Amino acid sequence: MTTTELERPARPPVFHHLSTGRKARNHLATVLVSLAFLIALVPLVWLLATVVIKGWRALVSPDWFTHSLKGVLPDQFAGGIYHALYGSLAQALVCAVIAVPIGILAAIYLVEYGRGWLARLTTFMVDILSGVPSIVAALFIFALWISTFGLEQSAFAVSLALVLLMLPVVVRSCEEMLRLVPQELREASYALGIPKWKTIVRVVLPTALSGIVTGSMLALARVLGETAPVLVLVGYSQSINFNIFDGNMTSLPLFIYNQFTNPTAAGQLRIWGAALTLILLVMLFNLIATVISRFSAIKTK
């Protein structure tokens, strides 16, 4: 090889015009991708439109959010979903109060301490749990809570089943968030003579906080709509019940399921109204998650 050969650029600096074949392929790919996007959008928009169109009249009726169905006849459009809204929120919050701390602690164990067989076992169990169908979780709690312990059906039993469904999601998302915290930050903290547990509490968790909050809120939004546990573990009630440990308590999915057997126009309207309320509730939770993560996100300026 001569020097002149080495000095020559690896490729002559000529720009070719786009060939027709490449243009065509580019167009084809663009069309296919856009089409796939539209197809994915169709059912979503359709569903939302249907629910809004059929349900909005229920939401604007004056008693919808403030009254239960107590004393309301099946074919009479009156009352509202006050009792079901309370039921959904109470069951979800009790579930979150149990699942979020356990989930965060388990994730901390897996990321910061877990080595060897116990960590592998925990990961394996979380994997299995995340694949458990909600009806199985509900039946398990039924077998444990009602058949074995001999306790009554109650909203709390529903919350326990929801915990089983929410826990793996929380563990997973927390684990990911904690792993995103750079090892350098932990070492910087150790180098100041700060013990490991304090490093986790004061440096690692605050750094991952916004992601953990978002993950937990999304997991919560997810279990809000779970139906199997409320069908198996708690009874339907027309009126409000504030006690989660005792008595029947309606939640939004249960409300919808119950009204499904009501063929009157009022029943239909209640179904769609409750469905719309549920969707709005989930959206609200997602919105709150976004806002919280915005506020707790790490600021650089």
Partner 1 sequence: MAKRLDAKDLNIYYGKFQAVAEVTLAVPPRNVTAFIGPSGCGKSTVLRTLNRMHEVTPGARVEGEVLLDGEDIYAGGVDPVDVRRTIGMVFQRPNPFPTMSIKDNVIAGLRLAGVRDKSRLDEVAERALRGANLWNEVSDRLNKPGGSLSGGQQQRLCIARAIAVQPAVLLMDEPCSALDPISTLAIEDLIAELKKEYTIVIVTHNMQQAARVSDQTAFFNLAGVGQPGKLIEIDDTEKIFSNPGQQATEDYISGRFG
Taking the complex as a whole, how short is the minimal distance between the CB of residue 183 and partner 1, in angstroms? 8
191 is a contact residue toward partner 1 (CB under 8 A) = yes
Q: Are 127 and 135 in contact (CB under 8 A)?
A: no
188 is a contact residue toward partner 1 (CB under 8 A) = yes
41 is a contact residue toward partner 1 (CB under 8 A) = no
How many other C-beta atoms lie within 10 A of the C-beta of residue 279?
Answer: 17
d(CA 234, CA 246): 9
Cβ proximity to partner 1, 133 vs 195, nearer residue: 195
How many other C-beta atoms lie within 10 A of the C-beta of residue 152?
Answer: 15
116 is a contact residue toward partner 1 (CB under 8 A) = no
Question: What Cα–Cα distance (Å) separates residue 208 from each residue in 104, 195, 296?
Answer: 11, 19, 10
Question: What Cα–Cα distance (Å) separates residue 56 from each residue in 124, 196, 242, 259?
Answer: 44, 54, 27, 17
Taking the complex as a whole, how short is the minimal distance between the CB of residue 294 and partner 1, in angstroms? 15
Q: What is the dihedral of CA 27, 33, 39, 45, to 10 degrees?
A: -110
Taking the complex as a whole, how short is the minimal distance between the CB of residue 187 and partner 1, in angstroms? 6
Cβ proximity to partner 1, 45 vs 188, nearer residue: 188
Structure tokens at 276: 């719309």
Structure tokens at 232: 């198996």
Q: Tell which one of 187, 245, 287, 290 touches partner 1 (CB under 8 A).
A: 187
Q: What character string, x for contact with partner 1 (CB under 8 A) and - otherwise, covers 143-182?
A: ---------------------------------------x
Cβ proximity to partner 1, 11 vs 301, nearer residue: 301
Question: What Cα–Cα distance (Å) separates residue 62 from each residue in 67, 105, 249?
Answer: 9, 44, 23
Cβ proximity to partner 1, 25 vs 294, nearer residue: 294
Cβ proximity to partner 1, 97 vs 188, nearer residue: 188
d(CA 100, CA 97): 6
With contacts defined by CB under 8 A, name the span among 30-38, 191-199, 250-258, 281-289 that binds partner 1.
191-199
8 is a contact residue toward partner 1 (CB under 8 A) = no
Angle at the Cα of 89 from the Cα atoms of 236 and 168, rounded to 5 degrees: 100
Cβ proximity to partner 1, 188 vs 291, nearer residue: 188
Binding site for partner 1 (CB under 8 A): 115, 182, 184-195, 198, 202-203, 206-207, 209, 298-301
